Amino acid sequence: MHDALERPLYLDHNATTPLREEVIDAMLPYLREHWGNPSSGHVYGRRAKQAVEEARAQVAGLLGASPDEIVFTSGGTEANHLAIWGAVTRPGAGARIVTSCVEHPAVARPLAVLEEEGAEVHRLGVDALGQVCPQQAREALKGGAELLTVMHANNETGVLQPIGELAEYAHRAGALVHSDAAQSVGKVAVDVNALGVDLLSVAGHKLYAPKGVGALYVRRGVALRALMVGAGHEGGLRPGTENVASIVGLGEACARAQDDLEHEAMRQRRLRDTLFELLCRELPGVRLNGHPQERLPNTLSVRFDGVSGDALLAATPEVAASTGSACHQGQTRASAVILAMGVPAAQAAGTLRLSLGRATTAEEVERAARALITGWKRCAAPRG
């Protein structure tokens, strides 16, 4: 038990992932030997520059893009800001933006700032399965728009949005299309041409690369305003000396993900479904949040009857997972994402997000299920 408490089963891969050993190995030479500035003309700089460009090609390969369409950033949040604030340059002139009500704060907050500056932001609702209705989007876009930004996969439920259909309607309305794909890249196939996006954000630490590195796909011909000015790094869109080792790590992570994407997705999907079945077999009132099929293969958002997610995690220290709720002044507030799907607040507060990863095993899934079942019984036991 002591070891379980010191090293609980990690089912929070949607929060962050450990670095793959291959990623660490790829990065080390650029921390030890090849430490040159990529902008320098001598051999030290040329080696670093070559590594950055090789990584750019690796990221592009996973996304079905061209290398010159990849801009390296400090992570998904910066990529989202560059896409949104870079595309909507005149919010005070009545710019119109269409988004969803279930976006990550890295999208929702910059949109709120634009709204304060005079832009009109139309937020699409979701259905009971957590998906945006394309027909509602089409209606919202009829008046025209500068930008449509809808996440590819929700970070809490794993639900995949119909980005291809949304993009078609948005382009007819003259809008650029951005998608925050931080959660989906490396877990499911993400092809920028199949999706029809103009801009797409990547976060390294969600796919076994380091924290502090990400990328923005920018379709050729799309003009963005840079958020910072300086030297002409990253096509003039992101000045500052490149974080070479981390960029190399992101490239390696993308290349490795591409190697076994389909097989690993199938493996994690089986484990995810087994975990749900084990919980349902023993506990009353367990319910799935989100679409039963159209979601990430590693993600299980499930609500437990009669307990809060926070209390259940506290009673199950053997499992490291997360809730979508927020605790304020001793009271638990249910996740806005789950509430947007029409789940009553009392039920939504019982939600846990259990997200699996490459190292998750069948034995760990069985142990996690047993621990959660025991924890629920402990929480739900009537007080004498």
pLDDT digits (tens, 9 = 90+) for 72-107: 999 999 999 999 999 998 888 889 999 999 999 999
Q: Mean pLDDT throughout 176-202?
A: 98
* Cα atoms found within 13 Å of the Cα of residue 319, Cβ hemisphere only: 33
Task: Kindly tell me if the per-residue pLDDT of 325 is higher than 80.
Answer: no
Question: What's the pLDDT score for residue 280?
Answer: 97
Residue 384: pLDDT band with limits 50, 70, 90: very low
What's the pLDDT at 332? 61
What is the layout of strands, in order, in the sheet containing 287-288?
Answer: 287-288, 299-303, 351-355
Residue 368, pLDDT > 60, answer yes
- How many other C-beta atoms can be found within 10 angstroms of the C-beta atom of residue 135? 10
Do 177 and 33 have their domain in common?
A: yes
Percent of the chain with pLDDT over 70: 96
Q: What is the per-residue pLDDT for 92? A: 83
End of a domain among 259, 286, 315? 259
Q: Give pLDDT, residue 97.
A: 97
Check pLDDT > 60 for residue 383: no
Structural domain of residue 82, as residue ranges? 21-259
Q: Work out the average pLDDT over 204-225.
A: 97
Based on the domain organization, do 351 and 245 belong to the same domain?
no
Among residues of the chain, what percentage have pLDDT more than 90? 90
Predicted confidence (pLDDT) at residue 252 exceeds the cutoff of 60: yes
Looking at the fold, whether 141 and 62 belong to one and the same domain comes out as yes
The residue type found at 255 is A
Q: Do 215 and 283 have their domain in common? A: no
272-301 pLDDT, tens digit each: 999 999 999 999 889 999 999 999 999 999
Same-domain pairing of 235 and 332: no
Catalytic positions: 327
Do 177 and 41 belong together in one domain? yes
226-238: per-residue pLDDT in tens?
A: 999 998 899 989 9
pLDDT band at 3; cut points 50, 70, 90: low
Measured CA distances, 219 to 60, 67, 84, 111, 331 (Å): 11, 11, 14, 21, 45
Residues 200, 265 within the same domain: no
pTM to 2 decimal places? 0.95
Higher pLDDT: 89 or 254? It is 254
Of the candidates 31, 30, 36, 78, the residue with the CA atom closest to the CA atom of residue 55? 30
DSSP-assigned beta bridge partners for residue 114: none
The CATH number covering residue 244 comes to: 3.40.640.10
Same domain for 225 and 289?
no
User: Are residues 186 and 73 part of one domain?
Assistant: yes
Last residue of a domain, one of 223, 241, 259: 259
3-state secondary structure of 245: helix
Number of domains in the chain: 2
The CATH number of residue 334's host domain is 3.90.1150.10
Mean of all residue pLDDT scores within the chain: 94
Answer yes or no: do 38 and 160 share one domain: yes
pLDDT band at 330 (very low <50, low <70, confident <90, very high): very low
Beta bridge partner(s), residue 48: none
Q: Which residue has the tokens 């995949």?
A: 160
> 119 Cβ partners below 8 Å, 6+ apart?
88, 91, 92, 94, 95, 96, 97, 111
pLDDT over 70 (residue 375): yes
| Confidence at 382, pLDDT banded by 50, 70, 90 | low
d(CA 4, CA 120): 50
pLDDT value of position 5: 60
At residue 98, what are phi and psi to the nearest 5 degrees?
-115, 130
Same domain? For 339 and 236 the reply is no
Q: Where are the beta strands (DSSP E) in 150-286?
A: 176-180, 199-203, 214-218
Lowest-confidence region among 68-82, 169-183, 281-295, 312-326 = 312-326
Q: Are 110 and 80 in contact (CB under 8 A)?
A: yes
Least confident among 15-19, 37-41, 149-153, 165-169:
37-41
pLDDT at residue number 351 = 96
Q: What is the pLDDT of residue 328?
A: 37
Name every residue whose Cβ is closer than 8 Å to that of residue 379 and which is 6 or more positions away in sequence: 306, 307, 311, 312, 315
Give the range among 4-18, 92-106, 261-275 with minimum mean pLDDT: 4-18
Residues in the chain: 384
**262 pLDDT above the threshold of 80:** yes
* Judgement on whether residues 232 and 307 belong to the same structural domain of the protein: no
The residue from 259, 275, 301 where one domain ends is 259
Name the pLDDT band for 4 (thresholds 50, 70, 90): low
Q: What is the mean pLDDT of residues 195-211?
A: 98
